[in-house]
Structure 1
């Protein structure tokens, strides 16, 4: 009757391990929720600039070769989608 049996060790492990795992999971979830959102690559629209001016600027960028046709189409759709 001396010493710990295997059941004592299992219960002791469960009593210690469950709170440690719970605290670890809470810390991980809190850290994930505090991260800033990933950048989408699209710049926010200039403040106070009209839709027409933004489309003209986009046309000028495409004419200079700064944006590809695919980027042009995507950004034009985004500008028109903000109406």
Structure 2
């Protein structure tokens, strides 16, 4: 295992200390778990994450209030 040294703000250290005590784990263990969670999260765009919601709402296909009004005029 590689050793990593980081600098934390006092509030961050207080949060980490509280959670370490509550979970009865080391600070390093909590940080490793958080890194592991980030590594296993599915990667992709917001559009990909919300793709299953596309088309789930009924309504007008064109929500523009000025649909092509003045288009092509100079």
Q: Which has the higher helix share?
A: 1
Q: Which has the higher contact order (CA 8 A, sep 6+)?
A: 1
Does the alignment reach a TM-score above 0.5? Answer: no
Normalising by structure 1, report the TM-score: 0.29
Normalising by structure 2, report the TM-score: 0.31
